Amino acid sequence: MRACKVKDLTKFWEEKKDAKFITIMLSPILKNSSNVGVGYVKVNPGCDSGTHQHRDGVEEVWYVTKGKGTLTVGNEDTKIEEGMVLYGEPGKPHCLTNTGKEILEAMFLITPAGEEKRILDNLPQGR
């Protein structure tokens, strides 16, 4: 069993202006899940997560816990706000953009796991 509080994850992020902050909470790589990656992202006002896409067959779901913005999946923009759950079609480029005045925060789930390795490889030591 693995349990963590999002408020305790801030130690993984170096606070910078005009940036995003991200960490992985569950992953087969961390040996605390078998086929899913779960993480948390914070995006400062006026910033975005960077457009990216995952390999074919990888699905991603977001749950917005704070703030508002836009989720772009392919050519489709969706206005997002706290309490929304969103699904991105496999293989399409996507990007979270903070259009609000407070930090946009969201939990994300990737399945099958594996895509979160890029994030884990870039986290500071001692995670």
Before 90, cis peptide (omega within 30)?
Answer: no
Please compute the mean of the pLDDT values over residues 49-67 and round it to a whole number: 90
E-strand ranges in the chain read 20-26, 37-43, 59-66, 68-73, 76-81, 85-88, 94-98, 104-111
Q: Which tens digit of pLDDT belongs to each residue from 19-29? A: 778 888 888 88
Residue type, 29: I
Please compute the mean of the pLDDT values over residues 70-88 and round it to a whole number: 95
pLDDT of residue 122: 67
Least confident of 71-75, 100-104, 114-118: 114-118
Domain range 20-122, its CATH number among 2.60.120.10, 2.130.10.10, 3.30.1330.80, 3.10.450.630: 2.60.120.10
Per-chain mean pLDDT for the chain: 83
- The residue extents of the domains of the chain are 20-122
The dihedral sign for the CA sequence 99, 100, 103, 104: negative
Among 62, 78, 71, 117, smallest CA distance to 97 is for 71
pLDDT of residue 126: 44
